A and B are shown apart, each in its own frame.
Chain A
């Protein structure tokens, strides 16, 4: 299919109306929204699983679900939230919707591969969830699936888990290849790399990480499945296997996975802040180089997850140093965002509330992260609730807050209608209070002796666990105003017009929702996506 002829996209093969969202559509905007809605459904499922965990932890004894079920629930919660909600939404949903606009293309480089990448996700997700019902028992060894535990827990559930993660990893690789090709090869003539909106750079960096590291996870999990099915001994110590090698291979993917979840969020925030602050993004060039530095460093820090494992002293030191230095490019980005806000004319709407709260949460998580990078510090708190608190500040307080902010920001583009601001502020307030109530106390719990992944704990920790559970309840309630908002405004929300935020990036320079071919005429050439304050006449 050539991309020069927009009429190709109007072919009779493609269903129209709402049905296209259930079809093998090749339209990147449809696929983006498929990712978004599908991801959100899995967010609700993963959230329900978190509800089970927090309910069990209201009391210090194991009294809500059986101990086996508890381990299944925590395994599924982690896997669903990472592989079915955050990674697909922050990459697949916003990446597919926005990247072709930003590069001035009418679709992604490989539209069919794109559709395949999305349609791997629902079956993989259903497979994963159904392992709880059909295989007798779902995986019980945590989302990390460390052997030998993953070799000794019920095999069927573990194998289904591996299969599901392999499918999701495949989907992620397809997406990564597609983004790299689109950003490098499909740019409209005249659009240079250094003119691209920051989200393109974030997605380019993320996709490089996906393509370099996901195959390592896939290979590792295939070896693990051989150990389970064919009784090989790669990771089986009774057959001379080495369990620590699995950890190295696993974290070679799963640490970059944090950046796969967080870099796109950095990109999205870099789009949202300048528009609502009416100022150019501060320090564009250093932002680009920071992303590259994070990508490079992100690949050489994995063993900081293994400081208490079978790790010799020199390795502990090397990974402490490498990990600490990630704070430098990350710090640059946060100072640049603050400088973007400084002197602006800030509209503190729902999109901005979530984006600014992201800064607060992520700085907190980043500071505990630098502390955790220090071997002597980590030796005490590794595998405790301190770590649970830390990474939820990064992936929930960081990425999920940005996903919500992005939803308020781009919903008018998706639908042509504005989300209700009062419900949005209520959603923000409940999420922010609930989130901090849930995860802040966990740092203290970890420091004082509560390990992670337990169904029972020292009764001295009861009160703070109950506070944490109340926070989780607020987070659960916070989804109600969001759901009501999305459904009600889709039907009779305020008309947004094409460009409600007076934005300069190219997805706003077309109708809302955009036509199949993205722009009715030629794609606009946006050489200064953040040229606020210079082009006062653009306010039409």
Chain B
């Protein structure tokens, strides 16, 4: 291969990789992040976005270049070169996706573990508060088994300290949040920043899903099969809770809010809404 071709290919590849990295790290495709999980997620997104941009642009440029350079000139009825394959070349482009996929897989496993995804789901049953069991463990359930979700602990960004449990009941077409510690029932979720929250969720009728885009978290809420979702909010504000599983005619309207307070403001909210202090 002539040295000029090698140089041209190297320059083009470098330019492509730099473009991909620039796009991945500078084009913002995501909403505001408001949980400790969000920054971890956004790291993964940037890596995937960069790799994806490099691969996509590379293949499209190669394709368009081939279509232009190897176009049939008018009057030329001859065939192209009779090349039926090239084993070393084929090994190279088996290796490219294999290496990319291996890297992406290992990296996303790491991210998943940092999100707390590998925490044992049924752990909290052992250290459960007594108040919890009466609601989350219904009669007939397989001994309060949790079927899916992201459990407590394991999150590297999660602060040590007590976990705030909230029981979530989903029904057509609303979410109900119950705070077993203070017996508050609310249509909106209120949480403090900096404390790990564990949602224990079950649906009453059909399957729903609890999704907060700013937390980058979602978990189906299933009738008969309790699920959990743990997170730590990091930024005060009001964010939408969206039902993400088709649940009937008003599925699009099944929304609520999560209000993230600074710890002091959360304590205020808690005191003002605890049943023995107000009439509701």
Contact = CB atoms under 8 A, between A and B. Distances in A.
Contacts of B78: 278, 345, 536
A376 B115 contact: yes
B67 A149 contact: no
Contacts of B225: 237, 242-244, 310
A279 B81 contact: yes
Interface string A319-352: 0110011011011101110110111111110000
Interface string B183-217: 00000000000000000000001110101010011
Contact of A376 (B81, B108, B224, B251): B108
Given A237-B225, A370-B104, A377-B48, A455 B56 contact: no
Interface stretch (B6-14, B83-91, B127-135, B266-274): B83-91
Given A242-B225, A282-B85, A451 B243 contact: yes
Contacts of B250: 67
A22 to B, nearest CB: 39
Given A278-B80, A280-B84, A310-B222, A149 B59 contact: no
Interface in A513-530: 530
Contact of B101 (A283, A325, A376, A532): A325
B77 interface: yes
Contacts of B240: 449, 458
A448 B30 contact: yes
A374 interface: yes
Interface stretch (A81-89, A380-388, A415-423, A428-436): A380-388
B3 to A, nearest CB: 21
A324 B246 contact: no
A255 interface: no
Nearest to A281: B84
Interface string B68-96: 00111100111111111110011001101
Interface string A197-213: 00000000000000000
Contacts of B90: 283, 286, 332, 335-336
B244 interface: yes
B79 A536 contact: yes
Given A141-B246, A376-B41, A308 B147 contact: no
A516 B44 CA distance: 58
A243 B203 CA distance: 12
Interface stretch (A177-185, A261-269, A356-364): A356-364
Contact of A71 (B72, B79, B147, B249): B249
B61 to A, nearest CB: 11
B101 A328 contact: yes
Interface in A454-508: 454-458, 502
Given A280-B82, A374-B108, A375-B117, A368 B52 contact: yes
A243 B224 contact: yes
Contacts of A316: 112, 117
Interface string B16-52: 0000000000000111000000001100110010001
B31 to A, nearest CB: 5
Contacts of B213: 380, 447-449
Contact of A374 (B48, B76, B247): B48
Interface string A43-71: 00000000000000000001000111011
Interface string B217-255: 111101111010000000000001011111111111100
A364 B49 CA distance: 11
B11 to A, nearest CB: 20
Interface string A134-148: 000000111000101
Contacts of B105: 320-321, 324, 374
A367 interface: yes
Interface residues of A, number: 100
A370 to B, nearest CB: 7
B62 interface: yes
B112 A375 contact: yes
Q: B70, B109, B111 — which one has the most chain A CB atoms within 10 A of its CB?
A: B70
B174 interface: no
B104 A363 contact: no
Contacts of B223: 148, 237-238, 243
Nearest to A310: B147
A189 interface: no
A152 interface: yes
B160 interface: no
Given A332-B94, A536-B78, A149 B244 contact: no
B252 A62 contact: yes
A87 B165 CA distance: 47
Contacts of A532: 79-80, 82
Nearest to A68: B249
A310 B148 contact: yes
B252 A454 contact: yes
Interface in A379-434: 379-380, 382-384
A457 B206 CA distance: 21
B140 A240 contact: yes
A153 B41 CA distance: 36
A111 interface: no
A530 B30 CA distance: 47
B98 interface: yes
A392 to B, nearest CB: 17
A280 B117 contact: no
Given A310-B227, A343-B81, A451 B97 contact: no
B109 A317 contact: yes
A232 interface: no
A444 interface: yes
A356 B82 contact: no
Given A331-B93, A335-B93, A376-B111, A342 B70 contact: yes
A453 interface: yes
Contact of A283 (B85, B148, B217, B245): B85
Interface in A267-312: 277-286, 308-312
B67 A533 contact: no
Given A360-B60, A374-B44, A457-B252, A343 B70 contact: yes
Nearest to B60: A360
Contact of B60 (A241, A363, A451): A363
Contacts of B48: 370-371, 374, 377
B51 to A, nearest CB: 8
Interface in A210-245: 237-238, 240-244
Interface string B97-121: 1101100110011011001011101
Contacts of A363: 55-56, 59-60
11 contacts: A148-B223, A238-B223, A278-B79, A310-B225, A316-B117, A320-B105, A325-B101, A346-B66, A363-B55, A448-B30, A449-B213
8 pairs of A and B residues whose beta carbons are closest in the complex:
A237-B224, A533-B82, A454-B252, A331-B97, A310-B147, A67-B249, A374-B108, A344-B80
Given A62-B253, A376-B117, A383-B211, 14 more contacts: A148-B206, A149-B248, A244-B147, A279-B82, A324-B105, A327-B100, A328-B98, A339-B89, A356-B63, A374-B111, A447-B29, A447-B213, A448-B29, A453-B251
